[in-house]
């Protein structure tokens, strides 16, 4: 297959999405100046809060919705973005650093913020390096978690030849494996179907591991199902995995877990040599467009991954300051989490009323089974200016739709459009 004919397998593929939803540059210079002055004034007055933003939103039909960061009238519930917008502290940090755009970033601001946040034992991060390591712990920044998944896949496929990922899933490591195989490399991305409850089938994952397996990805809470596996079950899986296999725990949605007793895997990654945890600033912190993610692992794991990274020059001077500020903005994290929980309750009730079965979600989206093919439903929703994702195609789930949790108004507009679509 030639590269121009290769299917785009990424979650953010545009091939199955209508162009009109994206809008290359929805912000005119006049709008920008107006908006910029308004947000500067709001910031100065301390009123640039998510409440102010959502108070400006109104209406229950798509035409009336005015989403943060989108042209009016479009309801985009397709990419698991934060409907409240970025952390106000991040916006303020970007404005404060706007004169730094001509400079490459050699600060350690973001590394320091992450090291403090997770209490990593990394005493002297270097501004000249993209990774930070101590005697035991290691930290690596990425251009979103997507770059880190790409690096993990490349490293494991080059060294060992095989990786294992659930189906359906975010799919970045599988995409790398499939594309390399199509290009003639002797590598393989194995898929492990999720269970009917939306969780990874740990028994099957274990069975798929062979001598050539270098990497297994577990996404918890899982995308696109929103299901959550208990900590102990994953730990038990890690205990039984052969030592040549690295287990990556993708925790990009972990802030939305609804079980207060749930423990994440940062501590495990700090203690073990075969576990790496991935986090992002794209979800709860509201910085999807800024492209910052990070990985925490044993120092030696980080060293192994280093040759595949873009390194220091993948760092964006505005993004690192935005991310560092967002990490300290607990108020925005709390509000974002609550908005998602409220939205999930509202959407779950509406979807069940309309006959769909919904997996209890620990993430900022819902996975709904309509018991019949959903491609037509999704296309009709698009025509009503509501963008959600059909389960057909890369997720191999033709009866499903994934709906990202929106603001109250976006959620209401989605339900309005769905009611009319289902008749």
Give residues in contact with ligand PLP (CB under 6 A). 11, 80, 144-146, 170, 219, 223, 250, 252, 280, 282, 288, 293
Shortest distance, position 126 Cβ to ligand PLP, whole Å = 23
| Nearer CB in complex with ligand PLP: 94/217 | 217
The Cα 288–Cα 13 span in angstroms is 16
Q: Which residue is nearest to ligand PLP (CB)?
A: 144
Query: Shortest approach of ligand PLP to residue 345 CB, angstroms?
Result: 21
Q: In the complex, what is the shortest distance from the CB of residue 222 to ligand PLP, in angstroms, rounded to a whole number? A: 8
Find the shortest distance in angstroms from Cβ 51 to ligand PLP: 26
Shortest distance, position 38 Cβ to ligand PLP, whole Å: 27
Distance between CA atoms of residues 279 and 253, nearest Å: 8
Q: How far is the CB of 312 from ligand PLP (least distance, A)?
A: 19
Q: What is the rounded CA–CA span in Å between residue 387 and residue 410?
A: 11
Q: Using the minimum distance from each CB to ligand PLP, give the nearer residue, 136 or 231.
A: 231
CB nearer to ligand PLP: give 39 or 223.
223
Query: Distance between CA 398 and CA 411 in Å, rounded?
Result: 23
Angle made by CA atoms 19, 24, 26, in degrees to the nearest 5: 110
SS3 (DSSP) at 410: helix
Choose between 145 and 411: whose C-beta lies nearer to ligand PLP: 145
155 three-class SS: helix
Is-contact 233 247, C-beta < 8 A? Answer: no
Integer Cα distance of 42 and 49 in angstroms:
9
* In the complex, minimum distance from the CB of residue 395 to ligand PLP, in angstroms, rounded to a whole number: 12
- Cβ atoms of 176 and 161 closer than 8 Å: no
- List the one residue out of 317, 181, 339 whose CA is nearest residue 256: 339
The whole-angstrom separation of Cα 118 and Cα 114 is 6
The torsion angles phi and psi of 132, rounded to 5 degrees, stand at -130, 130
In contact, 355 and 418? CB cutoff 8 Å:
no
Asked if residues 142 and 151 have their Cβ atoms less than 8 Å apart, the reply is yes
Q: Which is nearer to ligand PLP, 301 or 350 (CB)?
A: 301
Secondary structure of 221-255 as H, E, C letters: CCCCCCCCCCHHHHHHHHHHCCCCCEEEEECCCHH
SS3 163: strand
Least spacing, CB of residue 274 vs ligand PLP, in Å = 20
Q: How far is the CB of 229 from ligand PLP (least distance, A)?
A: 14
| Shortest reach from residue 419's CB to ligand PLP, in Å | 28
Closer residue to ligand PLP (CB): 91 or 219: 219
3-state SS, 320-376, equals HHHHHHHHCCHHHHHHHHHHHHHHHHHHHHHHHHCCCEECCCCCCEEEEECCCCCHH
Which of residues 253 and 414 has its CB atom nearest to ligand PLP in the complex? 253
Report the distance separating Cα 285 and Cα 320, nearest Å: 13
Q: Closer to ligand PLP at the Cβ: 11 or 162? A: 11
Q: Which is nearer to ligand PLP, 252 or 277 (CB)?
A: 252
Q: Identify the CA nearest to 394 among candidates 179, 236, 161, 76.
A: 179
The CA distance from 140 to 302, in Å, is 7
Complex with ligand PLP: residue 289 or 355, whichever CB lies closer: 289
Min dist CB 217 to ligand PLP, Å, is 9
Our CB check for ligand PLP shows the closer of 146 and 155 to be: 146
């Amino acid at each position: 297959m030639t590269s121009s004919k290769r299917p785009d397998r990424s979650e953010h593929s545009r091939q199955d999405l209508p162009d009109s939803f994206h809008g290359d540059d929805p912000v005119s210079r006049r709008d920008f100046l107006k908006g910029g002055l308004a947000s500067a004034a709001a910031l100065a007055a301390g009123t640039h809060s998510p409440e102010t933003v959502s108070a400006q939103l109104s209406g229950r039909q798509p035409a009336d919705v005015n989403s943060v960061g989108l042209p009016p009238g479009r309801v985009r519930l397709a990419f698991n973005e934060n409907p409240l917008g970025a952390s106000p502290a991040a916006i303020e940090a970007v404005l404060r650093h706007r004169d730094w755009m001509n400079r490459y970033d050699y600060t350690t601001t973001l590394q320091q913020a992450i090291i403090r946040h997770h209490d990593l034992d990394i005493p002297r991060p270097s501004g000249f390096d993209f990774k930070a390591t101590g005697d035991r712990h290691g930290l690596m920044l990425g251009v979103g978690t997507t770059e880190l998944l790409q690096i993990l896949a490349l490293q494991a496929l080059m060294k060992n030849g095989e990786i294992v990922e659930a189906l359906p899933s975010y799919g970045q490591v599988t995409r790398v494996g499939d594309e390399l195989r199509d290009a003639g490399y002797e590598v393989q991305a194995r898929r492990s179907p999720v269970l009917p409850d939306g969780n990874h089938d740990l028994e099957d994952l274990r069975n798929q591991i062979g001598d050539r397996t270098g990497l297994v990805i577990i996404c918890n809470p899982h995308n696109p199902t929103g299901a959550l596996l208990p900590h102990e079950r994953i730990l038990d899986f890690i205990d039984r995995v052969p030592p040549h296999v690295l287990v990556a725990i993708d925790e990009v949605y972990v802030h939305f877990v609804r079980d207060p007793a749930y423990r994440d895997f940062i501590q495990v990654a700090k203690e073990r040599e075969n576990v790496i945890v991935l986090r992002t600033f794209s979800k709860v912190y509201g910085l999807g467009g800024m492209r910052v993610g990070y990985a925490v692992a044993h120092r030696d794991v980080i060293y192994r991954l280093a040759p595949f990274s873009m390194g220091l020059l993948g760092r964006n001077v505005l993004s690192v300051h935005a991310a560092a500020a967002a990490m300290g903005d607990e108020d925005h994290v709390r509000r974002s989490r609550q908005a998602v929980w409220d939205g999930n309750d509202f959407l779950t009730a509406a979807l069940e009323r309309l006959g769909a079965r919904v997996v209890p979600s620990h993430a900022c989206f819902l996975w709904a089974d309509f018991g019949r093919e959903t491609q037509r439903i999704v296309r009709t929703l698009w025509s009503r200016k509501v963008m959600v994702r059909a389960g057909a195609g890369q997720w191999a789930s033709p009866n499903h739709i994934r709906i990202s949790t929106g603001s109250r108004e976006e959620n209401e507009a989605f339900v309005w459009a769905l009611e009319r679509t289902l008749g």
